[in-house]
Structures are given as C-alpha cells and as structure tokens.
Amino acid sequence: MDARDRLIVALDVPSVKDAESMVTRLGNSASFYKIGYQLGLAGGLPFAAGLIAAGKHVFLDFKLHDIGNTITHGVASVANMGATFLTVHAYPQTMKAAVEGARGSKLKVLAVTVLTSYDNDDLAAAGYKLGVSELVARRAEQARDLGIDGLVCSPEEAANLRGIVGSKLALVTPGIRPAGSAAGDQKRIMTPAKAIAAGADYLVVGRPIVEAADPKAAADAIVAEITEAKNKGN
Ligand code: C5P
C-alpha cells in the first residue's frame, strides 16, 4: 500500500467551503479524508460524495449505535455512497448488523471499543462492571469474531490490540503528533513513525495538518515519515 493512503486527514472544519479550500490546498498530498459530525451535519455528505467521485477515500466517523435493523440499513446507505471507512460503537448487536449492511461492498466497518474520554469511573457511572482495559480487550475479541474490518485505537493500545486481533483487522490511530507540533487536547500522543512501528495501519491526523501554515508540506512530511518507518520495519 502507498504510504500516502495510510494518512487520513481529519477535516475538522466548520463548513464545506473551508473543507473545499483545504482539499484544494492539499492536492495530491492527501488521498484519504475523515469527516465527522461537525462537517457531515453541515452539508458534508454531498461534499463527501464529491470527494469520492474525485477519486479520494472517505472515512465517515459517525460512531453509529442503534437497533440492528436501523444499523444494517444505515450502513448499507453509507456503502452505496462509496465510502471506504465508517465507525460504529463496538456493541455486539451493532457490529453484527453493521457487517451485514456492508456485505458485498467495499465499505470497511471500524469499531470504536471504548471512547478515549472514558476512564474506569466513567464506565462505573454508566453501569459497567469492567474497567477500560478489560472492556477494550473484550470488545476487540468480539469485533474480530463478528467480522469487523478494523478498530480505532490510540497508538499506545495498538501493540496490545494487534496481539488480540492479529493482522486481519486494520488498526486506525488518532492522537498523532509529529515531533515539535502542539499536543492540543490530546493527552496520549505518538509521532507518525512511532505509531507505525507500534503496529498502526492508518494514521488519523487533524490539527497538525489543517492548522499548519503550509498543510501540504505538513502532510508530505508525515507521509515521508510513514514511508521511512515502513521501510525500517520491513
Ligand atoms: O486534530 P487531531 O489530530 O487531534 O484530530 C484527531 C481526530 O481523531 C479528531 O477528528 C478526533 O475527533 C478523532 N479521534 C480522536 N480520538 C479518538 C477517536 C477519534 O482524536 N479516540
């Protein structure tokens, strides 16, 4: 796989106009874009369809969770749109229904095991008996057994999760910060090279690219780092 296709640029911008201008500035330096609620619910879906028509890959980070029938049909709609990645919460019913909705398409369903803003106290308050690490491990096993295509995880979890899911599932990691860039609100960060060495298949990068003075140069530098890390690993 081309190193460029491992970089997913998080288009966390408020409007389609901002997104269009970022995509134009990045040109061929980015081939994969993540669209979340902010842009998706502000006209970002027709925009995403346009990106796909222009040959880009799109990751819809909508973290779906609902009854199985609703998930299957919703995921089928995303598959028909031609998206490459879609996130769902890692509940067994939801994952099973999502796999069903994506069947026969090129859409890959990614599961979010436990939101990284949750700690053990948050899980207890929500009624869970398991702590974060046990719940992440259980849900990773369930995702693997239900035919999910990949997991979203922090780069620190990547090596451990690789041990649970093997090489079949893609590991997609946010929390990436090239050396010297601001952490912002991310607490557990890793450089692109370290994340690849830890087993990440795809890196999700937002602010270090979209808020850079020269986003194209920032993206090119990350791709170069991915290439180097991959060459070292082989
Ligand atoms: O700007 P930054 O590089 O921190 O953006 C990371 C992207 O990954 C954001 O879109 C954020 O919502 C997403 N994300 C994350 N941590 C998670 C899951 C998703 O930062 N655990």
**Angle between helical axes of 16-26 and 215-233 (0-180°, round to 10):** 60
Pocket perturbation via mutation, ligand 1, pick of 204, 207, 211 by most ligand atoms within 8 A of CB: 204
pLDDT band per the 50, 70, 90 thresholds, residue 39: very high
Residue 233 pLDDT > 90 = no
- List, for residues 68-87, the tens digit of each pLDDT value: 999 999 999 999 999 999 99
Token pair in block for residue 103 = 């069947």
Active site annotation includes 63: yes
Average pLDDT over residues 139-165: 95
- List, for residues 87-101, the tens digit of each pLDDT value: 999 999 999 999 999
What pLDDT, on the 0 to 100 scale, is given for residue 180? 86
Average pLDDT over residues 4-33: 97
Predicted TM-score (pTM) of the model is 0.96
Cα–Cα distance measured from residue 17 to residue 81, given in angstroms and rounded to the nearest whole number: 21
117 C-alpha to ligand 1 centroid (Å): 11
- List, for residues 181-208, the tens digit of each pLDDT value: 888 888 888 999 999 999 999 999 999 9
Query: Where does the chain have alpha helices with state H?
Result: 16-26, 37-39, 45-53, 68-81, 92-102, 120-125, 132-146, 155-165, 192-197, 207-210, 215-233
Question: Which residue is closest in CA terms to ligand 1's atom 10?
Answer: 10
* Domain 3-233, CATH homologous superfamily name and number: Aldolase class I (3.20.20.70)
